[in-house]
Structure 1
Amino acid sequence: MRALTWQGTKDVRVETVSDPEIINPRDAIIKVTSTAICGSDLHLYDGVIPGVLAGDVLGHEFMGEVVETGPKSTLQKGQRVVVPFTISCGQCFHCTIQQYSCCSNSNPAEKQDMSATLYGHAMAGLFGYSHLTGGYSGGQAEYVRVPYSDIGPIVIPDHLDDDKVLFLSDILPTGWMGAENADIGPDDTVAVWGCGPVGLFAIQSALVMGAAQVIAIDHYPHRLELARKLGAKIVNFRETNVREALMEMSGGIGVDAVIDAVGMEAHGFAIDNMIDIVKQKVGFGADRASALKQAILSVRRGGRVSIPGVYGGMTDKFPLGALMEKGLQVRSGQTHVQKYTKPLLEKIEDGTLDTTFLISHHLPLEDAADGYTNFHDHQNEWTKVVLKPGMARGSTNTGTTTSKEYA
């Protein structure tokens, strides 16, 4: 089959690799109909996530048709499913309390030491996201083996096109959980750093949850305009002093809750962030956390800090004193996707949530490398890239489409 493989920093290629096979009784094989490039894939592309090996198949946002099942899978051939990026057994302590991204069993034992050394406990398995998370092949491919297929995938009704439901795999639940972790109340002012896909879904989710005011912070004009259309007020951090603006917009108290949807490769010209950029490029492993630092300093005393943005290492000059002295609550983590897919699917079906507005480009899987380059280098215009296996090479579509166009 054809699949997008990592070959080194800023070097990804579509190559012919071995077809996946059923290994365990709960497995299923999915023929991919749509797969997306995620902002967190760019951390792999930039070479700042350890444990990625040449030839690894990338991608963790995907959906498709069931073509083969193991004897203990609950799926049936021909069903359309969206697959969560988190691989979860459904039976361990964490899964039984719906902490699916903390699963104890999905990361193979021989790989657990890698992440346990870094984080104190082993990470759970994730699709296409380094050997720290199990070394599983990802979904930017024609076919994918899905472990624990009786727990993860959600069956999609035929009347919903791929574009409407694909993001149930990751960024919609991630934005929703990011807003949920901010513990939003009806009178709250919420600030969201980053108007990428997760940030935009966090903004949409916060408004659906009843926030009185949502403030979007970024520097890309088009992304800020998308946030405005959702109902957010906007702040361009290259034109405005963010902390001063937030104090003014919150009546001098500070915002009630902050959501860091940026993560480890934050932009910004603060001296500590510039130093972190250099350290990250030369391999010192310093996460660029300027957005998180600014969020902690901007939230009101007694406020809430939600961190859906991805961090993978250490960060310098962290405002720990502000965190403690202000009495802040912090919640973070990889998304417990399986907890959210069913209720969010219902919100898509009844029109409460729209997931298609941020798609800027559809590309053939064969052009995935070009998709990575443009998504990385032209983030204002390339807001979200959906890859379509089977789409003729050289074809490019902007905006949303139906999966039937690429049958």
Structure 2
Amino acid sequence: MKALTYHGARDVRVEEVPDPILVQPDDIILKVTATAICGSDLHLYRGKIPQVHDGDILGHEFMGIVQETGSGVTAVRKGDRVVVPFVIACGECFHCRLAEFSACETTNTGKGAAMNQKGIRPPAALFGYSHLYGGIPGGQAEYVRVPQANVGPLVIPDGLSDEQVLFLSDILPTGYQAVINAGIGPGSTVAIFGAGPVGLMSAACARMLGAEIIYMVDELQYRLDFAREAYGIVPINMSQVDDPAELIISQTQGRGVDASIDAVGFEAKGSTT
């Protein structure tokens, strides 16, 4: 099959690689029908993430049609169209029982990215995201093995196109979780820093949950224009406003907003990493 493989910083290639096979009874083999490039993939591409090996298959935002199922798979069947989440979780460990799937204790054979790990267990395995997170081949390929298929894959009903549901794999839940963690609800005010995909998904979810005022800070006017048109945000262009926080405070009777969301993070402009 063809797959997108890593060969060093700024060197990725579409190559012929072996087709995946079932390894565990709860594996499935998925024929990929749609995949996306995440901002996190750019960290890999630029060589910012350690323990990415030559030939590793990238990609963690994907969906497709179930081609083959292991003997222990009960949640999906051959022919189902499914979206697969970034995180690989067992569904049974301490954290999974708390619905903290990204902290699954059993799926990751790597060490995770904690700098001062002490004795804490690594987080869940991730598709296509270095051997820190298990070295699991990713979904920017024609086919992919999906472990823990009774837990992760979400069956998509007929009538919804791939383009309508693909973002359920990662980028939309990322923005949604930020809004939930921030406690956004009817009448809330929120400031979102960064108008990239995570920021846009956060704005969409904040509006869906009833936020009254959504400030969005970025320096790219075209992104702010899109967010204003799509989600009714109040745009603040940081290249034109010296102190966005001061402006927000001045427009909220000196109180500020109910919550702020950082949708910039790693490799922010001016960052040394």
CA distance in 1, matches of 2:23, 2:232: 47
- 2:247 is the alignment partner of 1:245: yes
* Residue 184 to residue 117, structure 1, CA distance change in 2 (3 Å): closer
CA distance in 2, matches of 1:223, 1:85: 25
* Residue 249 to residue 169, structure 1, CA distance change in 2 (3 Å): same
Q: Which amino acid aligns with 2:133?
A: T
CA distance in 2, matches of 1:249, 1:228: 17
Q: Residue in 2 aligned with 1:39? A: 39
Deviation for aligned residue 1:25: 0.3
CA distance in 1, matches of 2:172, 2:8: 29
Q: Residue in 1 aligned with 2:220? A: 220
Deviation for aligned residue 1:15: 0.8
1:96-135 pair list within 5 angstroms? 96-108=97-109, 111-112=110-111, 115=113, 118-120=116-118, 121=120, 122-135=122-135
Which stretch shifts more, 77-86 or 211-220? Answer: 211-220
CA contact under 8 A between 1:116 and 1:123: conserved in structure 2? no
Deviation for aligned residue 1:186: 2.9
Q: Secondary structure at the match of 1:78?
A: coil
Q: Secondary structure at the match of 2:173?
A: helix
Identity fraction in percent: 53
RMSD: 1.3
Q: State the Cα deviation string for residues 290-310 of structure 1 (Å, max 9, x = none).
A: xxxxxxxxxxxxxxxxxxxxx
Structure 1: runs of 5 or more not aligned: 268-272, 281-407
CA contact under 8 A between 2:67 and 2:78: conserved in structure 1? yes
Q: TM-score, normalised by structure 2?
A: 0.94
Q: Secondary structure at the match of 1:40?
A: helix
Deviation for aligned residue 1:115: 4.0
CA distance in 1, matches of 2:115, 2:217: 35
Aligned length in residues: 268
Q: Residue in 1 aligned with 2:18? A: 18
Q: Residue in 2 aligned with 1:53? A: 53
Deviation for aligned residue 1:30: 0.2
Deviation for aligned residue 1:116: 5.7
Q: Secondary structure at the match of 2:24?
A: coil
Deviation for aligned residue 1:147: 0.2
Deviation for aligned residue 1:22: 0.2
CA distance in 2, matches of 1:86, 1:180: 18
- 2:144 is the alignment partner of 1:144: yes
CA contact under 8 A between 2:185 and 2:206: conserved in structure 1? no
Q: Secondary structure at the match of 1:64?
A: strand
Structure 2: runs of 5 or more not aligned: none
Q: Which has the higher helix share?
A: 1
Q: State the Cα deviation string for residues 292-339 of structure 1 (Å, max 9, x = none).
A: xxxxxxxxxxxxxxxxxxxxxxxxxxxxxxxxxxxxxxxxxxxxxxxx
Q: Residue in 2 aligned with 1:160? A: 160
Deviation for aligned residue 1:117: 5.7
Deviation for aligned residue 1:210: 1.4
Q: Which amino acid aligns with 2:259?
A: A
Q: Secondary structure at the match of 1:226?
A: helix
CA contact under 8 A between 2:96 and 2:103: conserved in structure 1? yes
CA distance in 2, matches of 1:173, 1:184: 15
Deviation for aligned residue 1:244: 1.9
CA distance in 1, matches of 2:213, 2:164: 26
CA distance in 1, matches of 2:185, 2:6: 43
Q: Which amino acid aligns with 2:248?
A: L
Q: Secondary structure at the match of 1:190?
A: strand
Q: TM-score, normalised by structure 1?
A: 0.64
Q: Secondary structure at the match of 2:138?
A: coil
CA contact under 8 A between 1:123 and 1:132: conserved in structure 2? no
Deviation for aligned residue 1:50: 1.5
